[in-house]
Chain A
Amino acid sequence: MTGVNAEQAKVTEAMDRLLADFPPDSVPPKEFWGAQFDAGLAWVDFEEGDGGLAVSPSFRAYVSRRLREAGAPTWNRSANIIGIGMGSGVLAAHGTPEQRQRWLRPMFTMDEIWCQLFSEPGAGSDVAALSTRAVRDGDEWVVNGQKVWTTLAHLASWGLLVTRTDPDLPKHRGLTYFVVDMHADGVECRPLYQITGEAEFNEVFFDDARIPDGNRIDEVGAGWRVSMTTLMNERVAIGGNTVPRGHGSIGQAVEAWKTHGDGNPATRRELARLWGEVEAMRLTTLRAVENMEAGTPGPEGSTGKLAWADLNKEVTAFTVDLMGLGGTTIPEGYTLEATSYETRETERVLSPQRAFLRARANSIEGGTSEIMRNILGERVLGLPGEPRVDKDLPWKEVPRG
């Protein structure tokens, strides 16, 4: 048996056993996720004991398919996306065995929700410019500063935190990465209400918050490298979701056309164009998944996030246009409320008007479309980067504002 076949047999056997011993339709989700973790089917490429079977990451798609076919609960991935989608990869690549042992299982079972503390008021797209300070004090670090746009921080037990530990070095080199207890003294979380009135995200303030050195990820000064691992996982997690044909916002557009459409041939043609663009994107995602599964990822794996952001904005705007004056109303009204992970806007069906508002975030969250185009241009097409005036300056000398 070749290596690949042996790995396939191992994964298939573990999956068959999991589904037989823990039938998804009768086992509560938390218990199922625990069993899935123990079976090594949480992140199948991770080490045994860390929720994996130490096989090729290409088997992830196989595991997803089997789970979907069996009707197993998989919503932990979206509800705890920052933990399961990003933090896990950070711990696998940069964490110690003790750290993986402590955090991975409760992350996967949703006993502990995670958030990501990267952006700051002065560091958005240019996240390496961040200024939250961590200063060593014996076996602890003392943190001061402010983070922003922190999704689910108000529900989170743990945060992935990047701090500046050496302001005398150029910006990428003076950073250190931690896991912070969100309930610790000196960590304060305030909701930030967004365009729809909902608060999916927060501001987080650090006022002499203390982090044990055991929660440091990788070396002092390695924060940028660890952040890159996080962001790469983020873009895969956001761009890689597939919905069935005709579902999601284009489904709402079709429904609106059938309800409110005036039969205008030009509008109908525009709807067909949008439907075609969405279907082309969907097929491209399927192609990307197939190639990832085969271990031959290509450029098609990187286009989804950008394409989705632009298209979803267009489709939701089209739907509201179809509603005529109805589009001047918003059925949910506006109330300021902090989200929960079950009910957050990205997890439920919104009115077309609210979906239209929420869509504005698609081209900003998880890397703006401008940054995504830079990434496609530079990393996929190999075009040269912009000249950077701040690259070799000590961080403390870089102009800010």
Chain B
Amino acid sequence: MSEIRVENLSKAYASGRLALTSASFKYEGSGAIGYLGPNGAGKTTTLKLLTGLLRPSAGASYLNGVNVIQDRKHALEDVGCVIESPEPYPSQTVEEAIEMVSDFRGGPYRSLAHDIADLNVKLELPPLKSKTGRLSKGQRQRVVIAASLIRDPRVLILDEPTSGLDPKERILIRNLLNDLKKDHLILMSSHLMQEVTDICDQVIFINQGQILLRDTVENVATRFQARAVDVEFATPIVLDRIRAIGPLVQDAVVIGERRYRLTFDGSNSSRAEILTGLVKLGPVLSYQSASLVLEDAYLALMGGEPAPVAGAPAPGLHLPPPPA
């Protein structure tokens, strides 16, 4: 069974700076895990420790049950990685670069052309005979993603896989990862909340080398329940009338021609009462949580605004309690 396991993993640099402090997590089977945190939080350090690019100061990491430091070759046997900004030899063609990875991983040579053709369709690769040194950043990124997928490894470790890609390319990768996560285990770091929301089933939040929260996206959404709702009316409504619904509405702003965002305390009872008030103002076409749940959680955990719930402990140190 596919497995990514980290046990009390720590990394201190010679300068004394602690890049990672006693991180532990374990995932098995299939699915996608988002690894979130600001720059310098320890995301890439964790992924490098997981793949043997760095050596831990303490603790251990395992891929498919094999200790990465003790037996790197077998630990990485069934693992595809995109860490930092990988670059094939600039003189290699796209085809040669993917072939090289395939040769190191092993597999039936006669199916290689078919596998590359398959990846070419999925990732819209640049011409296979073009030199990788002459590709744009986005093209090169698609080539290294293709190389990470050749021979179909069961575990994928991706460090901001859509970095440097244009919106069309991002959609391509997002769709591919959504397809892959059905029978692969994917750990991906990202800065893009929407990307993590769209792809991942679970999330890990990390800051200053410490894991702050690990949970399913659904639970995080519940825990950091949206304190904002978006409402769309059939006809424009004067903003003051919305604000006049009552004290439950803390604020209201216009976000579209007939669309408004209301902030409130986040509880389900308030949410229901506000809807009752809104319906009295005019026909409501839609009423839903503002789609920023992970972003709210991120900001709360990393010490930004807004705070998770009124009266919650200091952000970044403790988790807010689930709403009643």
A and B form one complex: no
Chain B residues with a Cβ under 8 A of chain A: none
Chain A residues with a Cβ under 8 A of chain B: none
